[in-house]
Amino acid sequence: MGPPGPDGRFGSFGGRYVPESLVPACEELAAAFEAAWSDAGFHEELDTILRVYGGRPTPVTPCRRLSEQLGVRLLLKREDLAHTGSHKLNNVVGQALLARRMGKRRLVAETGAGQHGVATATAAALFGMDCTVYMGEVDVERQALNVFRMQLLGAEVRTVSSGSRTLKDAVNEAMRDWVATVGHSHYCLGSVMGPHPYPWMVRELQRVVGEEARAQCRELLDGADPDWVVACVGGGSNAAGTFAGFVDTEAYLVGVEAAGGAAMGAGGVPGVLHGMASRLLQDEQGQILEAKSISAGLDYPGIGPEHAHLAELGRARYEQAHDAEVLAAFELLARTEGIIAAFEPAHALAWVVREAGRTVPLGSTVLVTLSGRGDKDVAQARELLG
**Helix or strand or coil: residue 10?**
strand
Q: Cα separation of 111 and 187, whole Å?
A: 12
Specify whether 217 is catalytic. Answer: no
Report in angstroms the alpha-carbon separations of 45 from 36, 50, 52, 125, 342.
11, 9, 11, 17, 29
The residues facing 108 across adjacent strands are 132, 187
Q: Are 302 and 278 within 8 A, CB to CB? A: yes
User: Which H or E run includes 258?
Assistant: strand 252-258
DSSP-derived secondary structure for 223-256: TPPPSEEEEE-SS-HHHHHHHHTTTTSS-EEEEE
Angle between helices 144-152 and 115-127 (to 10 degrees): 10
Phi, then psi, of 324 in degrees rounded to 5: -65, -40
Q: Which residues contact 114 (CB under 8 A, 6 or more apart)?
A: 135, 139, 143, 145, 146, 147, 149, 150, 296, 376
Among 26, 63, 131, 188, which one carries the catalytic annotation? Answer: 63
User: What are the backbone dihedrals phi and psi of residue 154, each rounded to the nearest 5 degrees, phi first?
Assistant: 100, 5
DSSP states of 191-216: SS-SSTTHHHHHHHHHHHHHHHHHHH
Q: Which of 26, 83, 87, 188 is catalytic?
A: 87
Exposed e or buried b per residue across 67-87, where buried means at least 16 C-beta atoms within 10 angstroms of its C-beta: beebebbbbbbbbbbbebbbb
In the chain, where does DSSP find H-type helix?
23-37, 40-52, 64-70, 88-101, 115-127, 137-142, 144-152, 167-181, 198-220, 237-244, 305-313, 323-337, 343-355, 378-385
Establish whether 116 is a catalytic residue: no
Strand partners of residue 229: 253, 367
Query: Tell me, what DSSP letter sits at residue 57?
Result: S
Catalytic amino acids?
63, 87
